[in-house]
A and B are shown apart, each in its own frame.
Chain A
Amino acid sequence: MALTGLEIFKLLPKTNCKKCGRPTCLAFAMQLAQKKANLTDCPDVSEEAKNVLGAASAPPIKLITLKAGEKIFKVGEETVLYRHEEKFHNPTGVGVTIRDDLDGGAFSERLKKIDGLKFTRVGTEIGIDIIAVQNMSKNVEKFSSATKMVADNSHLALILMSDSVENMRSALDVCGNKRPLLWSANAQNYEGMARLAKEKNCPLIVSAPRLEELADLTEKIKSLGVSEMILDYNSARLKDVLQGLTKVRRAALKKNFRPLGFSTITYVKENDGYQEIIKASTYLAKYAGIVVLDVCEPWQIMPLLTVRQNIFTDPQKPVQVEPKLYQVGQANENSPLLFTTNFSLTYYTVEGEVEASRTPAYILAVDTEGTSVLTAYSGDKLNEKVVAKAMANAKVEEKIKHKKLIIPGLVAVMTAKLKEELGWEILVGPKEASGIPSYLRSTWS
């Protein structure tokens, strides 16, 4: 729990020496409680106070870092329950399993397929983060040779899945430049796993089917010297898991309950290609730090990665498209030219309607710092100069012959100034994007 000012006061030297710049130790304590001061301001603070206060001020959800060569994958340190309150910080890791009992050809084929799971959406590359090697064979050599294959040939971060401490140890020896995540410690094997995690400095997944057991286990493992953990609430029921993920997040953020102050992982096992992605998407939206799946078809992984891209968008920062000239269909020098702003929602709405009109066209996305048409206009981020600059940057004059520009109906008021600035004919389009198809059909045939 966060400490109150009085609790902090008890840990301070109580000398009122003013070296911290506050009149009294109590005043300093109160500011510490409100996180308006730093403990380092006090030169005489005891080691004990440092430890206690340091622990109390740690983030409620522990940050975990995996390494794959130069690449670093981070999870944890979330601060809110709902994205509109601030934003979600570290995008949920998406991982795919590979079994160590696959024969050589099938193994390399699957490895190659998993490693290549990346797509480009709205100008951004999205891909999976993790490959999870499963010790299905229970065999130590098979597990370490499979791990070595993966470590040497994949760019992804690594999870090692085995209940055997001995097998885990041998696999850890061949992980090369990766810092893997160990899955898992449970009520039976936690002592050995914790010792191994400590020795190799690797984060550890803790598995149990009840939250109470998870809390017990994390405390025990912490006392063995491991602080980097991820929780695996491994109930078989969808609703249990969904509720468990919410309870863990709330316990950490609302109650500052340290035994559950960790990120979470879920392994989605389904024999149904739709339900597996439904569940993974659901867990992703509702707080899972990592989701791991067996399936890896592009039509399954791409929507899941898109859910992540959407949910982890910063709600305070409008998503922008690159400000440039976009071509819809087989547009040529006689095709209509419309402009809109580079706020992605505005742009894609316009693009969708232009596509629906089946009229090949150009859309000029004008840089308004990602604001919508009216917001941009009223904030003077959209004026005739801005449009002229965008047209010049996109070399519109070289691509379009007719010198007619269709402008959003909401800024019809810009007509005269635009005409003057550009010397083009200005056509006022519809106020709503939904009017574009009929507008284009009636004015551009």
Chain B
Amino acid sequence: MEVPNVAEKWMGCVRKVTIGATKEQGGTRGNIVTVGGAKSIPYMDFEGEQGCKPVIAMDVLDTVPEDWPDALKEPFKDVLNSPAKWAKKCVEQYGADMVCLKLDSIHPDKGNKSAEEAVATVKSILQAVSVPLIIWGCEHNETDNAVMPKVSQAAKGERCLLAGASQDNYKIIAAVCLADGHCLVTQAPVDINIGKQVNILVSDLGFPLDRIIMFQTTGALGYGMEYVYSIQERERIAALSGDNLLGMPVICNVGYESWRAKEAKASDAEAPQWGSCVERGPMWETITAATLLQSGVDIIRMYHPKAVAAVKKFTQDLA
């Protein structure tokens, strides 16, 4: 029996964004990464191209993380005190498509390190690995406004992805990204209207839409994931329906959020009924990532190599 054709006809798409620049393009990256391009509901390629395969950016912290559970520290225990070695391990051993340097220690309460130290860390990572780099501020507006311009300048020409611009703090970061040729994360607190508004604000400053990645604050599995899931689903549908200002690729912060969950970090002694923490934590991260992928995600920030491997295999199977 013939089954009715249920392919939707979409007018719009998610824009393609390229991160990283090779030598010929004015940078020093060994490879570049292109994300976005979807013309269908995620993985429904019978109605249009599904776009580029989602990529995984592994987080590297600029300081030794204090509150990580042992199961998470274990794979990195030999490199936690060196962001460059840490980044190298992520790329060479764990297959990260990108590295996301999280500048935690510039935060006034988490070390208050100087812009010069941040610049040195960025340079050391650019040296150590050849994949494109994401540089994430500490989300303390004043500090980020002081440090990120210097970081941006130091990585000029590398076409990094810098985070980020928010509704009440976007001018400086957008200006330096524009000047130094970087891509920009626009950020919103699980709100599709604010998400669009930030895109409008930075594009009013002349920032090109094809260098923007959208970020709706991620909620982990069990901790508000469904809100982000639905917002991202709506963003994707809006993009496909032709809304230019929501047609950007999407990034999720899965590693950090998942490992804050009790279910991920509780030790076996604390939660014997939940099974071994050696698998439980990576699984929590894996499932947060895998489920969010169904809502439309292009870049996933992750922590644990086991979770990275599992999600990588999954995205390959879906390609």
Task: Tell me the A residues contacting B by CB distance below 8 Å.
Answer: 82-84, 119, 121-122, 211-212, 215-216, 219, 238-239, 242-243, 246-247, 250-251, 254-255, 257, 259-260, 272-275, 277-278, 281-282, 285-286, 297-300, 302-304, 306-307, 309-311, 313, 315, 344-345, 348-349, 352, 356, 434, 437-438, 441
Contact = CB atoms under 8 A, between A and B. Distances in A.
Contacts of A83: 226, 229-230, 233
Contacts of B279: 273, 297, 299-300
B170 interface: no
Contact of B221 (A238, A307, A344): A307
B6 interface: yes
A239 B222 contact: no
A84 B233 contact: yes
A246 B41 contact: yes
A299 B275 contact: yes
A347 B43 CA distance: 34
Contacts of A281: 287, 290-291
Given A121-B263, A298-B274, 5 more contacts: A84-B233, A278-B310, A303-B283, A307-B221, A311-B229
A85 B247 CA distance: 20
A400 to B, nearest CB: 24
Contacts of B67: 356
B221 A310 contact: yes
A255 B273 contact: no
Interface stretch (B82-90, B120-128, B206-214, B311-319): B311-319
Contacts of A239: 43, 317-318
Contacts of A307: 221, 225, 287, 291
Contacts, number: 146
Given A82-B230, A238-B318, A303-B221, A243 B275 contact: no
B10 interface: no
Interface in B147-200: none
Interface in B91-133: 108-109
Q: 3 tightest CB-CB pairs across the interface, nearest first? A: A299-B275, A250-B6, A298-B275
B143 to A, nearest CB: 12
A345 B219 CA distance: 9
Given A238-B318, A297-B275, A299-B276, A212 B263 contact: no
A215 B290 CA distance: 30
Contacts of A254: 6
Contacts of A82: 230, 233-234, 237
Contacts of B108: 438
Contacts of A437: 109
Candidate in A299, A300, A441 with the most chain B CB atoms within 10 angstroms = A299
Interface in B25-78: 41, 43-46, 67
A85 to B, nearest CB: 10
Query: Could you say which of B2, B219, B225, B287 has the most chain A C-beta atoms within 10 Å of its C-beta?
Result: B287
B1 A348 contact: no
B294 A282 contact: yes
B151 to A, nearest CB: 21
Contacts of A282: 290-291, 293-294, 314
Contacts of A273: 279
